[in-house]
Structure 1
C-alpha cells in the first residue's frame, strides 16, 4: 500500500499507490495524452492491476489508479507550500468536472484525464466517488498545515470513507457487483487497508506532522503527545498501537467474505490484498510498539506466506 516515500491515498482492494506523474518533454510541456494510463512504478505492498486482474479491466483500473495517485502526489510530494497544494487540488477537481461533462482534457494533466475520460465513458463510473477522493486529499493538506489530528475514531472513519472506500466501490462497479452486503464488505476492507497504512507509516508520518492516532484513543491509553512526537515506545504507546492494529484487523476480517463474491481472478486478487494487509499487521504486532521508529514492510518470503493463507480463505 505504501511506497518507500509513503503518501496518503490508501491502497484499497486491487489498487495500491503511486504512479509517477507523466514525463515531460524537454521544453517542459506535457506530452499528448497516451492511449493507456501511466504504468505502476512505485513499490507496493499489494497487487495493482496484476496478471490476476481480468485483462479487459486492467486499463480502466490503471486509469483510476493514475487519477488517484497523481492527486495524492499533488497533496504530498515535493516542496510546494500548503497554499500551492490546495490551489492545484482545486484545479485538479475542476478538471475532473470538465472531463466528466465531456470536455476535452486540458494539457496540464492530459496524461491522466485522457484515459480517465475514456473509462468514464466506457464504464459509467460514478463521478462522486472520484470527487470524494479529492475532498480527502484536500482535508489531509489542511490538517497537516494546521498540525491537527483526528479527535476520535468516528472522525478518522469519515476520512477513510472518502479517502479509501471510493476505490473499492469503483472496482466493484467495474466488476458489476452491486449488492449492499458486498459494498459494506468492500468498505470494511478499504478502511482496514487505510488504517493499516497509517499504523505501518507512524515512523514516517509523525515527523512530517501527520497524526492519525485518534486523540480519544491516545487519552484512553495514557499515551502522551510528547512521547509520540519523540517516537518513544512507552508501555502506553505499545498498548495504543496494539489496540489500533486490532481495530484494523477486525475490520479486515469483517470484509474478508467479499473474496467469495467477486468472480474468477478478481476474487483471487482480493485474497492477496486482504492477506497483504493482515501480514503487515502481523509485523506491526511483532514490533511491540517499535513501529513508531521502524517501518514494517513486506519482503519476498512474505508473499509465500500470503499466498498460502490466500489459498485457504
Structure 2
C-alpha cells in the first residue's frame, strides 16, 4: 500500500519495520523532510493519524505477524473476530484467510465509528478527531482496507489496467484524504490527485520488486513480463537481467507520465496544501531519477533518491504560477 509520506522512500526497505514504529520520524524525515517539518502542528497531527491508520491496515494485510495495538500504540490490546487478538506478536505467520478475517473485522470497526459508536481500537481512537475535524469520508478509509483484502486473494496482475485498478484501492484514497485534511477537496482535484497517487504507488512497486517477490507478490504486468521472456524466477536473481530492466523502465515511464498529468494539482493549491502536495510529487520524481540511475535494477535493494533531487524538484514545482 502507498505510504502516506510516500514514494521517494529515502530509507531502504529493510528499515521499514522500524519506521512504522515511529510514524513521527517517517513523516518528518523520510520522504519529504523540508515541507513536512514546517507544517502546522494541527495539520501534522492529522497527517500522522492518517499515516498510522494506513500503516496499521497495511501491516494487517502484509506482515506474517503484527504486533498488537498495545505494543505499537501504547493502548490496550484489542480483540479481533471471535474475541481472538488482532495478533499475538509471537512471529507466527497467519494464513491469508486469517488476515482476511481480521481485515474485515477492522472494516467493521471503521463503519462503527461512522455510525456514531465510540471507537475502541487505539488506531481509530487516534483517527477519530481527524475524521471529525476534517470531515473525512468513510469510503477512502475502507478502500485502503479493501486493497489489503485483495492482497490476500490476488498476487499477480494480468496487465497494467489491473494494476491501475488496484491502485484505486491502495493509493488513490491517500491523496483524497490528504486533500480533506487541507480543506482543498473537490472532484477535479481528486481526479488529479488520483493520477499522482497511482504513479507513486507504481513507483513504490518498482522500488520493491524484490521485497514483494519475497512476500509472494508480483506487481508487474504479467503480459509484459511474458512478452519480454521474463520468468518469475528471474525476480529472485541478485541482479535484474536486461529484459526485466526493460519491463521496469516502461513502467517507470508510465509513472512519470502520470505524475506529469497530475502535477497541475500543485498549481491549484495554496498555502500548506501546495507545500505538501508539491513534496509528494517531488518525492516521486526523485525516486524515478534514482531508479534510472540504478539502470532500472531494484533487485539488490530499493534505489535511494538523493534528498537534493527531492528538494530540486520541489522548488521547481513551487515556482510554477498558481492556477
TM-score w.r.t. the length of structure 2 is 0.78
* Structure 1 contact 136–163 (Cα < 8 Å) conserved: yes
The answer to whether 1:284 aligns with 2:291 is yes
* Structure 2 contact 53–127 (Cα < 8 Å) conserved: yes
Cα distance in 2 for residues equivalent to 1:15 and 1:232 = 21
Unaligned runs of 5+ in 1: 1-7, 22-37
Task: Report SS of the residue matched to 1:50.
Answer: helix
Cα distance in 1 for residues equivalent to 2:97 and 2:34 = 31
Cα distance in 1 for residues equivalent to 2:317 and 2:129 = 34
Return the offset for 1:209. Answer: 1.3
* Structure 1 contact 217–240 (Cα < 8 Å) conserved: yes
Q: 2:44 aligns with which of 39, 58, 63?
A: 58
CA RMSD for the aligned pairs? Answer: 2.7
Return the offset for 1:119. Answer: 2.1
Return the offset for 1:84. Answer: 2.9
Q: Cα deviations across residues 29-76 of structure 1 (Å, max 9, x unaligned)? A: xxxxxxxxx852447324598234344322222222211111111222
* Structure 1 contact 136–162 (Cα < 8 Å) conserved: yes
Unaligned runs of 5+ in 2: 10-15, 66-90
Query: For the structure 1 residues 258 and 272, does the alpha-carbon distance in structure 2 shift closer, same or farther, using more than 3 Å as the test?
Result: same
The aligned residue for residue 68 of structure 2 is: none
Matches within 5 A, 1:56-135: 56-77=42-63, 78=65, 79=91, 80-81=93-94, 82-106=96-120, 109=121, 111-135=122-146
Query: For the structure 1 residues 13 and 239, does the alpha-carbon distance in structure 2 shift closer, same or farther, using more than 3 Å as the test?
Result: closer
Q: Cα deviations across residues 87-125 of structure 1 (Å, max 9, x unaligned)? A: 22122111111111111222xx2x211122222223321
* Structure 2 contact 46–130 (Cα < 8 Å) conserved: yes
Cα distance in 1 for residues equivalent to 2:264 and 2:40 = 20
The answer to whether 1:159 aligns with 2:166 is yes
The aligned residue for residue 35 of structure 1 is: none
Q: 1:40 aligns with which of 24, 27, 36?
A: 24
* Structure 1 contact 15–47 (Cα < 8 Å) conserved: no
* Structure 1 contact 12–164 (Cα < 8 Å) conserved: no
The answer to whether 1:9 aligns with 2:23 is no
Return the offset for 1:258. Answer: 0.7
Cα distance in 2 for residues equivalent to 1:48 and 1:73 = 27
Query: For the structure 1 residues 157 and 231, does the alpha-carbon distance in structure 2 shift closer, same or farther, using more than 3 Å as the test?
Result: farther
Return the offset for 1:262. Answer: 1.4
Task: Report SS of the residue matched to 2:156.
Answer: coil
Return the offset for 1:298. Answer: 3.0
The aligned residue for residue 212 of structure 2 is: 205
Query: For the structure 1 residues 307 and 118, does the alpha-carbon distance in structure 2 shift closer, same or farther, using more than 3 Å as the test?
Result: closer
* Structure 1 contact 75–137 (Cα < 8 Å) conserved: yes
Query: For the structure 1 residues 249 and 113, does the alpha-carbon distance in structure 2 shift closer, same or farther, using more than 3 Å as the test?
Result: same
The aligned residue for residue 297 of structure 1 is: 304
Cα distance in 1 for residues equivalent to 2:34 and 2:119 = 25
Return the offset for 1:83. Answer: 3.0
